Structure 1
Amino acid sequence: MPISETWLLPDGVADVLPEQAQVIETLRRDALDFLASRGYQLVYTPFIEYIESLSSLSESNQDLDLATFKVIDQLSGRLLGVRADMTPQVARIDAHVHPVVGVARYCYAGTVLHTKPQGFNTTRAPLQLGAELFGSDSIDADVEMIDVMLNLLKTTQNHEGIHLDLGHVGLFRSLVKHAKLSKATERQLSDLYQRKALPELAEFTASLKFGQDFYVLGRYASDLDTLEAKLSGEVFENHQFKQAFDALKATKAEIQARWPDLDIGIDVVELRSYHYHTGLMYAVYAPNRAAPLAQGGRYDGIGEHFGRARPATGFSCDLYALKTSQLEPVSVVVAPKGTQTDLVKAIEQTRALGFSVVQLLGNDDPQSIPHATHQLVQQAGEWVVTHI
């Protein structure tokens, strides 16, 4: 490879330069401090581990399996996976490494790696931050998680004009089971719902058992009152369907009570990763952004792969996507070379005030620090900070 190409990075991978890195690191610290204040304990997980551990999700989520880089461990000869999502790792911790009796709350922040960019995301190495709650199947847990997610975005100043989308995979899943549809038919319906193809949906559902209900589910997916009026009585007699419908309705009411000015939308046929999710799903969108700022949902039984099936709900986001466009200027003070006591003390005091202080080296002058904004100079026997 020519030397002119050795500095090039793969597509979807980028360096983070000092100004951006400072903003992102501040976001990370603020976010983790906020989650800690809500009782979420920080965990670190390995960047790579045996693929069997990561497969707790990939068995039910083919998209995640395809997103996972796989390599051979030269020590054991076994297949390793580079984490594409940290949720299965936290589930492993909850199941075996740190098995808490009762409710457990965890948070994390770390880089994950994808074989291809996911959705509208252009990076293959997001800085994933998230929170997980294990051990409660109550709707209160989902409400808490959504509230935490919204407050986190507020903490990171990503809350202006946001929109919350709510859904529940239980509606579609229970109706499919009630109608005894084949897997192939289920996949076709899911595709039609995802594409919002109403004319095709009307034609496709015409010959299905409960076909009118499947059409109504797609046609009025964003209006719970209309759904309740137009779906057949037999559908609502199904316990699983009714339970999912009531949970979705109650969640919307709870969140609206806590966030009265929040724009909340409903989409009962938003079926992203519905083989993975088991209940409520939620995502937050910002104006003029196609991809969600943060998203999550319920995934009960995720720990079954590790021998401890527990109710679970959680969300995650990419800190790179949360970073604000405006960079806060950093004040950098240039101090002269020297080890005299008064100068060393002045440098320490300046740093204690929140300044970044760089001391000159050798024969350098202040111009050798191009990002400097101030300098430490001696005036009338006292060291003072002045603008450059």
Structure 2
Amino acid sequence: MNWLLPEYLADALPLEAAAIERRRRAVLDLFRVHGYELVMPPLIEYLDSLLTGSGQDLKLRTFKLVDQVSGRTLGVRADITPQVARIDAHLLNREGVTRLCYCDSVLHTLPASISASREPIQIGAELYGHAGDEADREVIRLMAAALAAAGAPASRIDLGHVGIFRALAEAAGLDAEAIDAALSLLQGKDVPGLEGFCAGLAEPYRAAFLRLPEFYGGAEVLDRAARELPRLPAIDAALATLRALAAAMPDLPLSFDLADLRGYHYHNGVVFAAYHPGCAGAVALGGRYDGAGQAFGRARPATGFSLDLRVAVQLAPASAAAGGILAPYADGDAALQREIAALRGAGEVVVELLPGQPLPEGPVCDRRLVARNGQWLIEAITV
């Protein structure tokens, strides 16, 4: 049974691979015309570099091995974002705004869900060097456009802000262990568990933590949060940022989820998640992660997003593959060779029928190149 792959890994067969490559080109072309430069980090790096600022979640998802050259521990990347932050901070070292994008496989020790692959194709974009919400606005719009280009347009984009939870945790005096417990309960929408956790907290923080899962929906959520949460400067600033983003993007299907704290140990500002009707979870995730380059020698404002191209392609409507042209074997026939070269140069798929072979099973050819009265003509293949 040596043809079997490990669980949650799969080959991309011709039709799927062609669809992935078509969407990859479309999204990268979108990034290019918006000024995002493509980078290609290595598949493995020293572990401490890969896990910089990422928190425990990424540590558990990263495969580890020993480098036979240096003896140091290497990691197989589970996320490309820290690598891009390293490139911006240490290798490019530019002043002002830098826009970078990427697309490649990552590897996870465990699948993110029962239907997820352990080898997502991560495609994304990062903007460095601007701390204002103008950068977040650009990235959110780009995320929506990228999903459309990938064939899986967002039906909803949830905005949140980790500064709200962080301000409450600090004011309530929560230690690191309590913060992790509260994050787990909020992410799981475990209201009974959250009630038990908050039993020992003083007011108004007990009521504030219990209300966080309720702050979900349209713009009215921000007004409710302003009325019902403690008046802390960081909370006021976070709500003002979310209001500004919503006002600047009325054309996008924005909503709010103030208890969405994925990546809390990594993000430190606005966070966003895009959803598609065909997928139970988010199809794209992003947010602000200022200071991510500090470990590489230069802290920079940063915001970005990524998505799994495999998932987007699975959600995209199926499209019929363009048919190819079946041509006679051209060895020694200069005129036929020129005709085939011209067709391929124009973007046509031309398959030469090798001597003694039956019609190819793939790619599907719906036309045939035939000689008529001294000319090469293309005719439809009729069954």
The two structures have a TM-score, normalised by structure 1, of 0.91
Take 2:380 and 2:137, find their aligned partners in 1: how far apart are those partners? 50
* Cα displacement (A) at 1:386: 1.3
Asked if residue 215 in structure 1 is aligned to residue 215 in structure 2, the reply is no
Deviations 1:28-79 (A, max 9, x none): 1111011010010000110011112112134xx1110111111111111111
Take 1:57 and 1:73, find their aligned partners in 2: how far apart are those partners? 22
Aligned pairs for 1:360-379 within 5 A: 360-366=353-359, 371-379=364-372
Q: Which residue of 2 aligns with 1:228?
A: 226
**1:283 partner SS:** strand
Q: Given the superposition, is the C-alpha separation of residues 368 and 175 from structure 1 closer, same or farther in structure 2, using an over 3 Å criterion?
A: closer
Q: Which residue of 1 aligns with 2:182?
A: 189
Q: Which residue of 2 aligns with 1:51?
A: 47
* Cα displacement (A) at 1:295: 0.9
Q: Say whether the 8 Å CA contact 1:165–1:264 is kept in structure 2.
A: yes
**2:365 partner SS:** coil
Take 1:308 and 1:268, find their aligned partners in 2: how far apart are those partners? 30
User: Given the alignment, which residue of 81, 84, 99 partners 1:87?
Assistant: 81
Q: Say whether the 8 Å CA contact 1:221–1:227 is kept in structure 2.
A: no
Asked if residue 72 in structure 1 is aligned to residue 66 in structure 2, the reply is yes
* Cα displacement (A) at 1:217: 2.8
**2:53 partner SS:** helix
Q: Which residue of 2 aligns with 1:283?
A: 273
**2:103 partner SS:** strand
* Cα displacement (A) at 1:274: 0.7
Take 2:176 and 2:359, find their aligned partners in 1: how far apart are those partners? 70
**2:325 partner SS:** strand
Asked if residue 128 in structure 1 is aligned to residue 125 in structure 2, the reply is no
Q: Say whether the 8 Å CA contact 2:324–2:351 is kept in structure 1.
A: yes
Q: Say whether the 8 Å CA contact 1:20–1:327 is kept in structure 2.
A: no
Take 1:80 and 1:128, find their aligned partners in 2: how far apart are those partners? 20
Report the RMSD for the aligned CA atoms in angstroms: 1.9
Q: Say whether the 8 Å CA contact 2:125–2:305 is kept in structure 1.
A: yes
Q: Which residue of 1 aligns with 2:324?
A: 332
Amino acid at match of 2:318: Q
Take 1:142 and 1:120, find their aligned partners in 2: how far apart are those partners? 31
Does 23-32 or 49-58 show the bigger shift?
A: 49-58
Amino acid at match of 2:241: A
Take 1:368 and 1:205, find their aligned partners in 2: how far apart are those partners? 64
Does 298-307 or 105-114 show the bigger shift?
A: 298-307
User: Given the alignment, which residue of 6, 28, 33 partners 2:29?
Assistant: 33
Runs of 4+ aligned residues of structure 1 deviating over 6 Å after TM superposition are none
Consecutive unaligned residues of structure 2, counting only runs of 5 or more, are none
Take 2:56 and 2:289, find their aligned partners in 1: how far apart are those partners? 15
* Cα displacement (A) at 1:151: 1.0
Consecutive unaligned residues of structure 1, counting only runs of 5 or more, are none
Take 1:131 and 1:369, find their aligned partners in 2: how far apart are those partners? 35
Take 2:289 and 2:249, find their aligned partners in 1: how far apart are those partners? 20
Q: Say whether the 8 Å CA contact 2:324–2:365 is kept in structure 1.
A: yes
* Cα displacement (A) at 1:328: 2.8
Amino acid at match of 1:329: A
Take 2:170 and 2:363, find their aligned partners in 1: how far apart are those partners? 66
Take 1:44 and 1:158, find their aligned partners in 2: how far apart are those partners? 25
Take 1:367 and 1:192, find their aligned partners in 2: how far apart are those partners? 56
* Cα displacement (A) at 1:337: 1.8
Take 2:363 and 2:269, find their aligned partners in 1: how far apart are those partners? 54
Take 2:137 and 2:19, find their aligned partners in 1: how far apart are those partners? 30
Q: Which residue of 1 aligns with 2:305?
A: 315
Take 2:79 and 2:369, find their aligned partners in 1: how far apart are those partners? 47
Q: Given the superposition, is the C-alpha separation of residues 47 and 269 from structure 1 closer, same or farther in structure 2, using an over 3 Å criterion?
A: same
Q: Which residue of 2 aligns with 1:298?
A: 288
Quote the sequence identity (%).
42
